[in-house]
Amino acid sequence: MANTILVGAQWGDEGKGKIIDVLTGQADIVVRTQGGNNAGHTVFLGPKKYVLHLVPSGILRKKKICVIGNGVVVDPVNLVEEIRGLIRLGIKVDGNLLISETSHLVFPYHRELDEQREILKGKNKIGTTKRGIGPAYGDKAARTGLRMIDLINAERFADKLELKIKENNEILKAFGAKPLSFKSVHAAYRTAGDYLKPFVADTVVFLHHACQRGKNILFEGAQGTFLDIDHGTYPFVTSSNTTAGGACTGSGVPPHRMDRVVGVMKAYTTRVGEGPLPSENDEIADLLHSMGREFGATTGRARRCGWFDAVATRHATMVNGIDELAVTNLDGLDSLETIKVCVGYRIGSKRYEYVPSDIELFSRCEPVYVEFPGWQTPTSKIRKWKDLPARARSYLKAIAELSGAKLTIASVGPAREQTIFV
Ligand code: GDP
Ligand code: IMO
Ligand code: MG
C-alpha cells in the first residue's frame, strides 16, 4: 500500500474512521499523529458500532500495530477507559498498541479552562468539545506541559503535577471555578500511568525501523483541514495541525517517506461547533437529521449541514497535497431531486476560488452554486462503480474534478462492504 496519510478535507467527521478501517486491510501499522479525544471515529463491523477517540481505528483489525504518536495530546484516564471498553467488546489491546513517550498529557485543569474560556467568550465561543485540547496544546507550546514519560515516572510526576495544580488553581479561582485537589488528580493519574506503562515506547524509533523494513504505514487523520490551527478558519479551529504536514511532525516520520495523501470528504458538508459555513442549508440539514444522521460521535451535538463546498475541498487539496479522494455518505443524497454544489464564493462582485484566510471576509462570503440532477435511487446496496446511477457517477466525477484530485473510493453506507473502488 505504501505509506499513506489520510486527512479530512472538510470540517471533520468526513467518515475517516470508516475509510481508515477499509484501508487498514492493506496496512501493517496505523498511527494517530495529532489531536486528542476531541476526535470520534465511527467504525461498524457487522451490526457492532465502535467509536474510537484516541486509539487508532486500526485496532479493530487483527495483526495490526497501532501507534499514538508524539503529536497527540492524551488524557490518560480517558484512554484507559477507552482501552477497557474495547477489551470488553472483545477487541485485543495489548502488544498491538504503542503510546509515544513524548505525547503530552491532558489534565482536569485543561478541561476546566477549556470550559471557562468558552463561557467567557459568550456568543463568540468556538464550540469546543470541552476535552481540554486547546489548553493542553497551549501548555505544550509554552513548554510547561507534562508528557507520558513524566506520568510513568512516579517521583518526577508528583513534583511536576504539584506545581501545575498550584499554578492552575490560581487561574481557576480567578475564573470563579472550583480549585482541584492535587491528591485526587495525582491518584487517578498514577493509576492510569501504571496501567499505560507497558504501552509507552519510543515510537519515533519504532516507526523508523518499520519504514526500513518496508512496512506499510497508514497515518490516521483526525479533525479536518478547516479545523487546522494554521490553515483552518481561525479562530474557529482546533489547536493542532490537522493537515498532512502534521502527520510528519506528529510521528517523526520524515516527509520523503510519505507516498500518498488520501483526502476523505462527505458528498455534502457538515460542521460541528461555531464558525462560518457558507453552504449551510436547512433543507439538507432537516433531511439528514430526520434520517437520524449527522449527530456528533464525541459530543452528540447535531452537526450543521450544507451542500458540497468545492471551494473548501479545492483548498484542502492544495494544502494537503491530496492525490486521491474518498467520498463518503453518497447515499445521504439519494432522495434529492436537485443537488447543489458550491463552486465559488463571492462578496459583491469579487469572486473567490479558495477559502479566504481572514475570518471577517470568510464570514461574508456568499456561495455560488451550480445544480446537478439527483439520481433518486437507493445506492446503499451498490458495490460496483458501473452499477451506480449515471447521475450519481456524474455528480461524483464533478465534485472530484472541482476538488482537483482523483476519485478512488465512493462510500454508500457505514459498513466496510458498502465501499466502491473506482
Ligand atoms: P470521522 O470523525 O471522520 O471518522 O467521522 P464520524 O465517525 O465522526 O462521522 C461519520 C459518520 O458517517 C459515522 O456515523 C459513520 O458511520 C457514517 N458513515 C461513514 N461513511 C458513510 C457512508 O458512506 N454512508 C453512511 N450512511 N454513513 C457513513
Ligand atoms: P474527528 O476526528 C468535528 C471541532 C469542535 C470545535 C473545534 C475546536 O471526529 O473528525 P476542540 O475541542 O478541538 O478545541 O474544538 O473543533 N472539532 C471537531 N469537529 N470532528 C472532530 O474530530 C473534531 N475535533 C474537534 O467541534 O468546533
Ligand atoms: Mg468524528
Pocket test for ligand 1, best of 328, 330, 382, 421 (most atoms within 8 A of CB): 328
Ligand 2 contacts CB of residue 222 (under 6 A): yes
CA 219 to mean position of chain CA atoms: 11
Residue nearest atom 13 in ligand 2 by C-alpha distance: 238
Catalytic annotation, pick one of 21, 28, 41, 323: 41
Ligand 1 atom at minimal distance to the Cα of residue 49: 16
Which pLDDT value is given to residue 297?
Answer: 86
- Residue 9 Cα to ligand 3 midpoint, Å, equals 13
Backbone angles phi, psi at 33, to 5 degrees: -120, -10
Ligand 1 contacts CB of residue 8 (under 6 A): yes
Give which of 280, 391, 296, 383 is closest to 335, Cα–Cα: 391
Give which of 236, 146, 250, 134 is closest to 189, Cα–Cα: 146
Residue nearest atom 27 in ligand 1 by C-alpha distance: 414
Ligand 1 contacts CB of residue 18 (under 6 A): yes
- Residue 266 Cα to ligand 1 midpoint, Å, equals 9
**89-119: string of b/e by CB count within 10 Å (b at 16+)?**
eebebeebbbbbbbbbbbbbbbbbbbbbbbe
What does pLDDT average to in each consecutive run of 10 residues of the chain (422 residues)?
94 98 97 98 94 97 97 98 97 96 98 98 97 98 98 95 97 96 98 98 98 97 98 98 98 97 98 97 96 91 97 98 98 97 97 96 98 98 98 98 98 97 96
Which pLDDT value is given to residue 342?
Answer: 98
Q: What is the DSSP string of 87-141?
A: HHTT---STTEEEETTPEEP-HHHHHHHHHHHHHHGGG-----SSSHHHHHHHHH
Which pLDDT value is given to residue 1?
Answer: 67
Ligand 1 contacts CB of residue 53 (under 6 A): no
13 is catalytic: yes
Ligand 1 atom at minimal distance to the Cα of residue 297: 8
Task: Give the Cα separation of 6 and 110 in Å (integer).
Answer: 28
Cβ contact 218:58 at 8 Å = yes
- Structural domains of the chain ordered from first start: 4-100+200-262 (3.40.440.10), 104-196 (1.10.300.10), 265-421 (3.90.170.10)
- Residue 246 Cα to ligand 2 midpoint, Å, equals 16
- Residue 38 Cα to ligand 2 midpoint, Å, equals 6
Residues with CB under 5 A from ligand 3 (ion): 13, 40, 297
- Residue 13 Cα to ligand 1 midpoint, Å, equals 7
Ligand nearest to the backbone CA of 32: 2
Pocket test for ligand 2, best of 21, 38, 128, 301 (most atoms within 8 A of CB): 38
Enter the pTM of the model. Answer: 0.97
